[in-house]
Amino acid sequence: MALASALSMLSPSAIAQGDKNVIRDLWDYLSPLPGGRFVFSRAVGMAAPYTNTIGAVVVDLRTGHAEATMRDRHAVRNHLSSVHAVALVNLAELTGNVALAYSLPDDARFIVAGLSIEYLKKARGTIRGICDCDVPSSSARREYQVVVSMRDESGDEVATCTLRSLVGPKRLRGES
């Protein structure tokens, strides 16, 4: 698979209507390559542009599990010199979404229907989002609770987020 072809699979319509699990195919193709995890993370950001604002990188992705890291830098800080709450929730959403998306059957899609987050302590330094979630066995319409833990470099949990994600069947091309 050529890189340009792989990246073209990541259009919103390909994700929502295609007959493959684009996230899984793209990760499986890119992650073993030098710089592939960074390219994958930027490609996800092309499909969901707000995701790119925190500069996170997906570092581990497999069925039911994802990890992504976000460096502490000026662009993600608040007035208290700690990582901003919205940057943390963005990291949580990225981490939980790729964990669930990678795990979906080829004929399924999802959308976040709601979320809650609890901030436990000031976040400083590189933050790692870690998600272990249930794996949908079908595209049957169902809500999943996707929990993401955000941890600092010492392993302390700085926030925990629960995404309420609605899984359902993809629309076939031409359906409205």
Instruction: Render pLDDT for 96-122 as a digit per residue (tens, 0 to 9).
Output: 999 999 999 999 999 999 999 999 999
**Any domain includes 176:** no
Choose among 86, 87, 100, 85: nearest CA to 145: 100
pLDDT of residue 47: 87
Within a 10 A sphere around the Cβ of 174, how many other Cβ atoms?
Answer: 6
Instruction: Render pLDDT for 25-43 as a digit per residue (tens, 0 to 9).
Output: 999 999 999 999 999 999 9
Instruction: Please say whether the beta carbons of 166 and 111 come within 8 A.
Output: yes
Q: Span 20-26, mean pLDDT? A: 92
Instruction: Render pLDDT for 51-92 as a digit per residue (tens, 0 to 9).
Output: 899 999 999 999 999 999 999 999 999 999 999 999 999 999
**Any domain includes 60:** yes
Instruction: Please say whether the beta carbons of 54 and 90 come within 8 A.
Output: yes
**Any domain includes 174:** no
Tokens read off for 63: 């069925």
**Any domain includes 101:** yes
Classify residue 34 by burial, with Cβ atoms within 10 Å: 0-12, 13-18, 19+.
exposed
**Any domain includes 40:** yes
Number of domains in the chain: 1
Task: State if pTM tops 0.85.
Answer: yes
pLDDT of residue 98: 97
Residue 176 has pLDDT above 60, yes or no: no
**Any domain includes 127:** yes
Q: Give the CATH number, domain containing residue 54.
A: 3.10.129.10
Dihedral, 54, 165, 62, 159 alpha carbons, nearest 10: 50
**Any domain includes 120:** yes
Helix axes of 22-30 and 85-103: crossing angle, nearest 10 degrees: 100
**Any domain includes 44:** yes
Q: Which domain holds residue 119?
A: 3-169
